Amino acid sequence: MSYGLVFESMDNETYEGQTTTYTLTVDSNGGQGDYEVELVVANPALPDLIPESLSCPTTEAYTDEEITTQWIIHNARGPAFGQSMVVQIELVDSDNVTLSTMYSSELESENPSITNAMSYEQSSVQDSYAFFTIPTDTPSGDYRCKLIIDSNNDVTESNESNNVHFSEPFYVQNEDELWANDVDRDGFNSTDAGDGIIDDCPNNPGTSTLDRYGCPDLDSDGVSNDNDILPNDMSQYYDTDGDGFGDNPIGTNGDQCPDVAGVSLGDDGRGCPILDLDSDGVLNENDLCPETPLGTLVGSDGCELPDEPDEPSDNTTDPTDPVDPVDPVDPTDPGDDTNSGDDTTDSTDESESESGIFGMSYTLVGIIGAVVVLLLVTVFFVRGRGSKNDAWSMQEKAYSDAGFAAVAGMPAPDTSITPEQLAYEQQLIAAGYPADYARAYADQHFRPWLKQ
């Protein structure tokens, strides 16, 4: 009598495929008898290939970026007796449409073989990884990796439904789409995107923001290299006055006069001008001849004085000798009181009438008149020149005052000017020299210590 099937390991996850010791217990309910136990060896279960894991990027990826995928495959059931299979991994979009093949064991000539030792997950069938570059034309969107086991159906399995496995989704950003309005990909749009910022160097990536947007800026100070006075030094970038010294006074070679061109050793510091370049006593702003040689005698305009006039020769006296007034009437000749019939007395009286006014010769009167006219012109000229703080402006006033005092018979404001010097100056003025030139020449003779 048969009591039927008592125990079967097939399809039993605990015992199928396992080598172990079994104990059979017969409960006879107190009876006695002989029993026979029949062990039937069934055919082994078919293999069942399953994925243990599949990993792809977990963060955003970009086109033309190389990514890594990894996977592990096991055989959950019976032996495959060394059969080989094809493993394939695909990149699929959110609609499960395949865009490209990421890996193929067949193309790589590395199809895995399924040995009996791999049965019941005793060891992995395949534990591998592959590199993949996302194609340039891949549209932006969500994607997954798709693992296909035994894609050619070379292995007969007990369960074919678990041969496909998907990774977690990840986002792919198309680079061309991302930078469609930024050709050089520096973060500044090639055309206005509504923020009013346009890349001034659209084909040359850069980070400048102060003078131009998106141009190369080596020192990252915000000013593009082309407009940066020191492109490798972020402490300086502008040079407003163009003198080679940066506007930042505390930066490298800082300009202490950033709005006025200067030199390294300027009067007020680096980058400041020298106020009197030729050191002739006339400020640059008033100097019409700013490069006169050192020691040259110059006038109030900063230009060299003309050659000193020759000593007066005709009807002149040595400037060191006092000038004697000319008496128009010879005191030793009382005249002829006789009416001798000639015109001597009449002609003498006429000569006396013509020889002077108030006891002075007409020549002297003319000289004095010319001096007065020149002094008036000089006064108006000096007052019209403005308020230049210049040593020569003050000197001109002194010349004018002294000349006027000489003509008016008043004492000179400067007590060191002698009457002889004033007389000499009058002669030069009468000869056509300006009052300041006359004073300068006279000073060389009468007051030489002024030039020491």
DSSP 63: T
One-character DSSP codes across 300-339: TTSSBPPPPPPPP-SS---TTSPPPPPPSS-TT-----S-
Number of compact structural domains in the chain: 2
Check residue 376 and give its pLDDT: 72
pLDDT by 10-residue block (mean), the chain, 452 residues: 67 75 74 75 90 95 97 95 97 97 96 94 95 97 98 95 97 93 93 94 96 97 96 95 95 94 87 80 80 80 75 52 45 46 46 48 69 67 46 47 47 74 85 83 82 61
Structure tokens belonging to residue 78: 């019976």
Check residue 19 and give its pLDDT: 74
Asked whether residue 109 is assigned to any structural domain, the reply reads yes
Check residue 363 and give its pLDDT: 67
Q: Which of 122, 156, 176 is the last residue of a domain?
A: 176
Structure tokens belonging to residue 422: 């004033």
Asked whether residue 328 is assigned to any structural domain, the reply reads no
User: Which pLDDT tens digit goes with each residue over 90-148?
Assistant: 999 999 999 999 999 999 999 999 999 999 999 999 999 999 999 999 999 999 999 99
Instruction: Give the position of tokens 């003309």.
Output: 306
Check residue 330 and give its pLDDT: 45
Q: Which residues contact 106 (CB under 8 A, 6 or more apart)?
A: 86, 88, 152
The pTM (predicted TM-score) of the whole model is 0.49
Q: Which of 176, 209, 235 is the last residue of a domain?
A: 176
Asked whether residue 333 is assigned to any structural domain, the reply reads no
Residues β-bridged to residue 127: 72
Give the domain range for residue 375: 344-451
Asked whether residue 386 is assigned to any structural domain, the reply reads yes
Asked whether residue 290 is assigned to any structural domain, the reply reads no
CA distance 64 to 175: 8
Check residue 349 and give its pLDDT: 46
CA distance 324 to 383: 35
Asked whether residue 78 is assigned to any structural domain, the reply reads yes
Asked whether residue 80 is assigned to any structural domain, the reply reads yes
Q: Determine how β-strand 49-55 pairs with β-strand 83-84.
A: unpaired
Give how far the C-alpha of residue 408 lies from the chain's centroid of Cα atoms, to the nearest Å: 67
Check residue 202 and give its pLDDT: 96
Residues β-bridged to residue 141: 172
3-state secondary structure of 132: strand
Q: Can you give the CATH number for the domain in which 59 is found?
A: 2.60.40.10
- Residue pair 149/159 in contact (Cβ under 8 Å)? The answer is no
- Residue pair 425/438 in contact (Cβ under 8 Å)? The answer is yes
Asked whether residue 370 is assigned to any structural domain, the reply reads yes
Check residue 24 and give its pLDDT: 74
- Residue pair 422/359 in contact (Cβ under 8 Å)? The answer is no
Q: What's the full length of the chain, in residues? A: 452
Closest residue by Cα to residue 151 from 104, 93, 82, 98: 104
Q: Which residues contact 345 (CB under 8 A, 6 or more apart)?
A: 335, 336, 337, 339
Q: Which of 137, 155, 176 is the last residue of a domain?
A: 176
Helix or strand run (H / E) with residue 104: strand 98-104
